[in-house]
């Protein structure tokens, strides 16, 4: 069965950096686009970024452009999100998700808290 397991969340100070990872299993990872989606506490879903199956095509939400970098390692069945210059408003649960013009599988999420 498809499994997406995020890791790397935690508490970080404003201006700091964090790298999230997502381990995928149960499907041919290299065949699928992947996305990161976040949800601030008590708020709605916000799409953050996606990456094509080969990594050649990448898009970001305006709110994270220039600060976040998405990447993938198909040999390791892994997705990453490098987050720099973190702000309080980046505090959220970050979900790794399989993206096929719809999000058909979601991870359980990892909490990122940006606070001094």
Residues that bind other proteins (CB under 8 A): 35, 37, 44-47, 50, 57, 59, 61-62, 95, 99, 101-104, 106-109
**DSSP of 36-87:** EEEE-TTS-EEEEEEE-TTS--EEE-TTTTTTEEEEEETTTTEEEEEE-S--
- CB of 27 or CB of 47, closer to other proteins: 47
- CB of 37 or CB of 81, closer to other proteins: 37
Check if the beta carbon of residue 90 is closer than 8 Å to that of residue 114.
yes
- CB of 80 or CB of 105, closer to other proteins: 105
CB of 113 to other proteins, least distance (A): 17
CB of 93 to other proteins, least distance (A): 9
CB of 27 to other proteins, least distance (A): 15
Helix (H), strand (E) at residue 18: strand 18-25
């Amino acid at each position: 069965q498809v499994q997406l397991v995020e890791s790397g969340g935690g508490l970080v100070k404003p201006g700091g950096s964090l790298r999230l990872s997502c381990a995928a299993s149960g499907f041919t990872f290299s065949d699928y686009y992947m996305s990161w989606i976040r949800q601030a506490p008590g708020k709605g879903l916000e799409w953050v970024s996606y990456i094509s199956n080969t990594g050649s095509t990448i898009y970001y939400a305006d709110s994270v452009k220039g600060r976040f970098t998405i990447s993938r390692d198909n040999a390791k069945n892994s997705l990453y999100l490098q987050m720099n210059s973190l702000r309080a408003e980046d505090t959220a649960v970050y979900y790794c998700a399989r993206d096929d013009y719809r999000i058909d599988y979601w991870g359980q999420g990892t909490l990122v808290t940006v606070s001094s």
